[in-house]
Structure 1
Amino acid sequence: MKTRTRHGIIILIGFVTMLTSLLFLYNSSSTDTPEDQMQSDGHQMNVLRRQTSHLEGYNSIIEHKPLRMHCRSCALVTSSGHMTGSDRGAEIDSKECVIRMNDAPTKGYQKDVGQRTSLRVVAHSSMQRVLRNRQELLNSSQDTFFIFWGPGNYMRQDGKGLVYNNLRLMKQMMPKLQVYVISRLKMLHFDELFKKETGKDRKRSNSWLSTGWFTMAIAMEVCDRINVYGMIPPEFCKSPQPSMPYHYYEPAGPDECTMYLSHEQGRHGSHHRFITEKHVFANWARMFNIHFYQPDWRPTPVAKNSTDS
């Protein structure tokens, strides 16, 4: 009995020590350098304090307040292997806001992807990877907004939502972290948006919206101009292409086009419709201030029907 008691005390002490270490690491994280706070033209980058717009459907994890964020220019940086060797880092960091996805790192890749992060959109399935890389992604991110998305059963707020509960604990351990979740109604809105743009019901087509879908849609609410880095055009994978890693930070990982095609063609199990989504993004770029770099491309104009006069 005494042995069990001692074992329980050891576990409790270990857990408390871990929480204390996380808080120490977060509070002792280094502050931004002057270069991190300046745009290339010398103006101070202070958009996160400016906070001029209310964005409904993105609620803070504890206070349940709506996100307040607006940017005149954004760099939306994908995780594609096309970013490797791009030398776009300084160009990306010169934008007023920089948007990233999931656990994509910047340390060691600054020359190609930049080092600033204003907003990071994270899938429920990537939360554990974010926590494992907390020294880079969380402890030094006091000026970064995090928006987490996930299925309704994971994000329930009645004590039964596993991801939601973990996010609340993370916020309690790191009170300065700016953590938001996408509301249930907003998730339904994203489903309806997909159906409106593609004519396909997400659930009936047995597919999941990708983090790229959420990120692009959120960027359209936040940004006046969106520069997208590392996103291929929708027709890219139709012709044979040199192998390109799906993630720039996993050079030995799966090939990008192989991943896209397998998901697009999959009919059994849940899949992302990466190529379908890119058709939608190309269409949005014809109507809104969206531009694609690395590779650089423009959506082809929509052919107009001509009639004889």
Structure 2
Amino acid sequence: MKPNRKWLLLFLLVWLLLFLSLLRHFLDLRSSSLPRSRSAAAAGLTRTETRRLASVQGRIRTLRPAGASESDWRRRRNDFRSRYEAYYRSRSLEILQRLWSGNLTVGMLSPRLQKVLKVQLSSNRHQVVQRRSRGRRRSGLQLYCELKRRTRIRTVDGTEEPFSGLGWDQLVPSLPLQELWTSQYQSCAVVTSAGAVLNSSLGREIDSHDAVLRFNAAPTMGFERDVGSKTTIRIINSQIVARPQHEFSSSSLYQDVPLLVWDPAQYSANLTEWFQKPDFDLFSAYAERRRLRPQQPFYILHPEFIWSLWDLIQDNTEDQIQPNPPSSGFTGILLMMSLCREVSVYEFIPSVRRTDLCHYYERYHDAACTLGAYHPLMYEKLLIQRINQGDQDQLRRKGKVTLKGFRTVQCVS
């Protein structure tokens, strides 16, 4: 028995040494791969940049010389990352400067964003009727007068089918949106939800205006230093009222303030078809809110008005724009220009704080939030820049555009 036990112990010892050798080899391989997986995160890059960097780094690794040391290769990789970040910053600044001067074109955008825009152009889910001839370039005053002539705020008033047959003439507010305020505001602010508002310290300036327009789920609590605390009216899309996660029925964001909700119908604006099949069911939540809170001014933007703004943008843009409805931001700007003598718009056209962070109140990054994918955002921004009355320093530092109210613009008939 003793010889057998010796052989058994020897076998176990050899097996243990072999196992430890394999384990050490595995751990060495794993540790050598860690710097590569952490390099982008350590640089503080966004998810989009990380993917781009990883893609290029992956191609460079395949060319690594067999005799190159790990330290030499790490130095080359860090050098590449530095050059990439410098390129990214310079490219962003170039795009901003083009946008500030009104000379930005699709060809200057990143290949990824160009591809996204191309996909949107090829899609026409709203059955938009494209016209062959597109807009000529008007002067600033001519454009102001064109906007004034064609901006006619319209909401669902319950007099058209199918709403009239449902008794909505008694459900909607009796006072039209344009008459909600007894006197015209002197100074108004439109505060976008852009990530660039974060750390802007604009709160006190924003609150100094007579009226402040905000969008969707953008909060003020906890962000007063940057966005202020005053809210005079809030524009929301149909997702806010339809999706449970937004807590429309209970959230304080949507109480004790006038609301304007919108949902895109087809371009032809068949109200019966729209009522039967909206993008999101806004009608049930709207009717419930009006019954529970009849004193709260709550309006539905008429889809014909939404698409009239699309026509307006296309008629004043030489390029073909996305066949999708304009953004809430553009709609809100024209609304306040109809109600106020002067309008200050913050971070619709981005400042030097421009970032891929979509909203100041949540951590989601996407360059399309600034220059547009679904909405024709880039063309909206270029249009607003053409009528900007403020100086470029205000635009650069604050992302602030200053606009005249329509009533102050003198147009020749």
Q: TM-score, normalised by structure 2?
A: 0.47
Match of 1:149 among 262, 265, 281: 262
* 1:202-221 → structure 2 map (5 Å cutoff): 205-221=322-338
Normalized per residue, the structure richer in helix is 2
Give the distance between the partners of 2:254 and 2:233, measured in 1 at CA.
12
- Structure 2: gaps spanning 5 or more residues: 1-151, 158-170, 403-413
CA offsets per residue over residues 235-260 of structure 1, 9 Å max, x none? x79xxx8744110001x2114x3544
* 1:30-69 → structure 2 map (5 Å cutoff): 56-59=153-156, 62-63=172-173, 65-67=175-177, 68=179, 69=181
Residue 235 of structure 2 is aligned to residue 135 of structure 1? no
Aligned position for 1:187: 306
Match of 1:273 among 376, 383, 387: 376
Give the distance between the partners of 2:311 and 2:319, measured in 1 at CA.
9
* 1:83-162 → structure 2 map (5 Å cutoff): 83-127=197-241, 128=243, 130-132=246-248, 134-139=250-255, 141=256, 144-152=257-265, 156=271, 160=276, 162=281
Aligned position for 1:229: 346
- Following superposition, the deviation at residue 225 of structure 1 comes to 0.7
| Paired residue secondary structure (1:120) | strand
State the identity as a percent.
23
Give the distance between the partners of 2:371 and 2:191, measured in 1 at CA.
22
Kindly indicate whether the alpha-carbon contact (under 8 Å) linking 1:145 and 1:179 is maintained by their aligned counterparts in 2.
yes
CA offsets per residue over residues 79-112 of structure 1, 9 Å max, x none? 1112112222122111100011111111111121
Give the distance between the partners of 1:58 and 1:242, measured in 2 at CA.
34
| Paired residue secondary structure (1:253) | strand
CA offsets per residue over residues 25-54 of structure 1, 9 Å max, x none? xxxxxxxxxxxxxxxxxxxxxxxxxxxxxx
Q: Which has the higher Rg, Structure 1 or Structure 2?
A: 2
Amino acid aligned to 2:365: P
Q: 1:292 to 1:178 in 2, by over 3 A?
A: farther
Aligned position for 1:282: 385
Normalized per residue, the structure richer in strand is 1
Aligned position for 1:6: none
- Structure 1: gaps spanning 5 or more residues: 1-54, 264-270, 300-309
Give the distance between the partners of 1:248 and 1:130, measured in 2 at CA.
17
| Paired residue secondary structure (2:217) | coil
Kindly indicate whether the alpha-carbon contact (under 8 Å) linking 1:59 and 1:65 is maintained by their aligned counterparts in 2.
no
Give the distance between the partners of 2:315 and 2:225, measured in 1 at CA.
39
Q: TM-score, normalised by structure 1?
A: 0.62
Aligned position for 1:167: 286
Kindly indicate whether the alpha-carbon contact (under 8 Å) linking 1:231 and 1:295 is maintained by their aligned counterparts in 2.
no
- Following superposition, the deviation at residue 56 of structure 1 comes to 4.6
Residue 187 of structure 2 is aligned to residue 73 of structure 1? yes
Amino acid aligned to 2:291: Q
| Paired residue secondary structure (2:247) | helix
Give the distance between the partners of 1:124 and 1:189, measured in 2 at CA.
19
Q: 1:125 to 1:201 in 2, by over 3 A?
A: farther
Kindly indicate whether the alpha-carbon contact (under 8 Å) linking 1:98 and 1:119 is maintained by their aligned counterparts in 2.
yes
Return 118-127 or 89-98, whichever deviates more.
118-127
Q: 1:114 to 1:185 in 2, by over 3 A?
A: same
Number of equivalenced pairs: 223
Q: 1:115 to 1:66 in 2, by over 3 A?
A: same
